[in-house]
């Protein structure tokens, strides 16, 4: 079957010469052909993601057209504006895939609002809501290596698409012939017909205004003299992040020169992820040279932001996503209470794999903390529920341990632009009172206990990877562990059992241990990985780390 598909692609005159060349190069190599054609990239709530190249199991213009035809078929059943918003980041072919999507939508009579230059995830979520679009498309593979690209689909609320809608779109995709099934119109023709328009300046300015309106201590950055080093990691953050930082009064910003401009090859960081030290190395070196108070880095689609803080001895320390999450929660709560801007019955939201220290901090300030499944759409869903009840202003903050933050309901996905703004504001405030981010973090640990949160990943590449991952998760369910490294399991929760958790079913296992530690096991939704999350609590970092190391060692044979 896959050989037939391969032959069909070879026999057709493809528009992309690079794909033709690739198909010629793999002639006679059955393994390589199988890798590209045995399966198709599956469309889910996160859309599509895969390696760039030829075939149904790769990201290319034909897969993008097929997906967009499926989306167009769904949009045409939705009534409303019959409009889709599109944005894209700096990845290889992101601009090409964005335009191909627009061409297919226009040919189906669906209107398009597309950004005239790369813009990040939050800008796409905002435009989808601003134009009351039926859907949004973001061309990105987030923080994956350079050889990947992807296609994120959004619903009318600016949140990643629901399971129900994604299933309908996927069914439509499967009915669409990958090479010939998508309708197509030239981009110029679409613009001439008024079906394709660029996103207006009014929409761009409204996003910046919405972000700045969520400032917790307006004006603090103008007088604090904050010195900053910033890296957009060759992605889409440069323009929006610098614009907002400039508007709030931060003008001493040194940008990492090698990572300043968009470049989908990510030449200085093979894995452009602010969670990874290697991606931040150049920024850290520059921060030390400049004596910066803070170093920030946003990922290619600028929905995540990582930081390094200056310590009293002049060295720099990377801050985990969980730590930034609790610092921001604490700062927002304390500041809003002090300023009299805290709403009644305030709500914060975090993913179930994020640190329980946030629950303790929320309780301290009288804030309701809601715990949801991993994936920022579930945080967006909580905002939507508040909005439906006419109580959207109760939402003050949402975060995930994987460096995703949101401090307002103007978009429904994580936003590194507002994350960067409030992190800088927080740093400026602590500086203005003779403190620092580092000092405040130590104070939180002194008050609540030394929490340690660590994530380990196990990769399962290739076609058999998914089967291996399924086998491991099945094994854990069929033979539930009773202890890890001698620490007894006192509670095990299987999130596939929605009745037990009160949340939608999900492939996640959480073990609470006698020591108070937790171990979480979940397959990634976007990559061939199983992730293990450890939370330990010790009298100091060394004790918490030693406990984590013991637990991680005990899990290795289970996940190998």
Contact status, residue 165 vs residue 47, Cβ threshold 8 Å: no
Most distant CA pair in the chain: distance in Å? 71
What are the Cα distances from residue 282, in Å, to 146, 241, 248, 277, 482? 18, 19, 26, 10, 44
Contact status, residue 255 vs residue 222, Cβ threshold 8 Å: no
Query: Using CA of residue 212, residue 215, residue 218, residue 220, what is the dihedral sign?
Result: negative
Residue 494: which H helix or E strand, with range?
A: strand 487-494
The pair of three-digit structure tokens given for residue 308, joined into one six-digit string: 């390094």
DSSP class of 394: G
* SS3 at position 92: coil
Q: Are strands 196-198 and 487-494 parallel, antiparallel or unpaired?
A: unpaired
In 3D space, the residue among 213, 214, 212 whose CA is nearest the CA of residue 246 turns out to be: 212
Contact status, residue 535 vs residue 461, Cβ threshold 8 Å: no
Could you give the CA distance from residue 175 to residue 26 in angstroms, rounded to a whole number?
A: 28
Could you write out the DSSP letters of every residue in 7-57? Answer: HHHHHS--S-HHHHHHHHHTTT-HHHHHHHHSS-PPPBTTBEEEEBSSSTT
Catalytic residues: 142
The number of CA neighbours under 13 Å toward the Cβ of 175 is 12
Residue 362: which H helix or E strand, with range?
A: helix 357-364
In 3D space, the residue among 483, 479, 507 whose CA is nearest the CA of residue 493 turns out to be: 507
Backbone angles phi, psi at 209, to 5 degrees: -65, -40
Could you give the CA distance from residue 307 to residue 423 in angstroms, rounded to a whole number?
A: 9
Contact status, residue 98 vs residue 88, Cβ threshold 8 Å: yes
Could you give the CA distance from residue 114 to residue 116 in angstroms, rounded to a whole number?
A: 6
């Amino acid at each position: 079957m896959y050989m037939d598909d391969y032959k069909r692609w070879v026999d057709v005159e493809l528009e992309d010469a690079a794909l033709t060349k690739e198909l010629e190069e793999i002639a006679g190599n059955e393994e390589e052909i199988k890798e590209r054609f045995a399966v198709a990239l599956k469309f889910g709530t996160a859309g599509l993601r895969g390696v760039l190249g030829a075939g149904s199991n790769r990201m290319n213009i034909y897969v993008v057209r097929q997906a967009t035809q499926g989306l167009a078929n769904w949009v045409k059943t939705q009534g409303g504006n019959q409009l889709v918003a599109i944005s894209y980041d700096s990845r290889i072919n992101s601009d090409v895939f964005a335009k191909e999507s627009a061409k297919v939508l226009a040919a189906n009579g669906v209107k398009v609002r597309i950004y005239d230059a790369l813009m990040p995830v939050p800008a796409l979520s905002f435009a989808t809501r601003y134009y009351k679009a039926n859907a949004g498309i973001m061309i990105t593979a987030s923080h994956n290596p350079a050889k990947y690209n992807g296609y994120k689909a959004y619903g009318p609320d600016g949140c990643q698409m629901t399971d129900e809608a994604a299933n309908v779109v996927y069914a439509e995709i499967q009915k669409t012939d990958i090479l010939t099934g998508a309708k197509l119109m030239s981009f110029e023709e679409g613009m001439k017909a008024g079906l394709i328009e660029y996103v207006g300046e009014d929409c761009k300015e409204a996003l910046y205004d919405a972000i700045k309106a969520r400032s917790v201590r307006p004006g603090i950055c103008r007088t604090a003299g904050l010195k900053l080093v910033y890296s957009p990691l060759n992605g889409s953050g440069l323009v929006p992040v610098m614009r907002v930082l400039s508007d709030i009064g931060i003008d001493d910003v040194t940008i990492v020169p090698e990572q300043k401009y968009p470049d989908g090859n990510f030449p200085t960081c093979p894995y452009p992820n602010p969670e990874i030290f290697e991606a931040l190395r150049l920024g850290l070196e520059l921060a030390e040279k400049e004596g910066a108070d803070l170093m920030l880095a946003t990922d290619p689609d600028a929905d995540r932001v990582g930081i390094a803080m200056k310590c009293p001895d002049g060295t720099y320390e990377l801050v985990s996503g969980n730590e930034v999450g609790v610092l921001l929660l604490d700062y927002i709560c304390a500041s809003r209470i002090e300023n009299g801007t805290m709403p009644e019955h305030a709500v914060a939201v975090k993913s179930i794999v994020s640190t329980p220290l946030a629950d303790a901090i929320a309780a301290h300030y009288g804030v309701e903390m809601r715990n949801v499944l991993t994936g920022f759409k579930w945080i967006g869903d909580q905002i939507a529920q508040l909005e439906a009840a006419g109580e959207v202003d109760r939402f003050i903050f949402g975060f995930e341990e994987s460096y995703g933050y949101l401090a307002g309901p103007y978009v429904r996905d994580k936003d590194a632009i507002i994350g960067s703004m409030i992190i800088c504001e927080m740093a400026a405030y602590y500086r203005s009172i003779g403190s620092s981010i580092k000092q405040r973090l130590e104070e939180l640990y002194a008050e609540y206990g030394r929490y340690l949160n660590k994530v380990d990943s196990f990769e399962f590449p290739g076609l058999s990877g998914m089967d291996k991952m399924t086998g491991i998760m099945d094994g854990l369910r069929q033979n539930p562990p009773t202890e890890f490294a001698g620490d007894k399991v006192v509670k095990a929760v299987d999130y596939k059992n929605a009745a037990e958790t009160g949340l939608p079913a999900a492939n996640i296992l959480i073990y609470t241990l006698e020591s108070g530690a937790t171990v979480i096991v979940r397959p990634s939704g976007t990559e061939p990985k199983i992730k293990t999350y450890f939370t330990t609590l010790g009298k100091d970092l060394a004790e918490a780390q030693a406990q984590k190391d013991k637990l991680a060692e005990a899990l290795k044979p289970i996940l190998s």
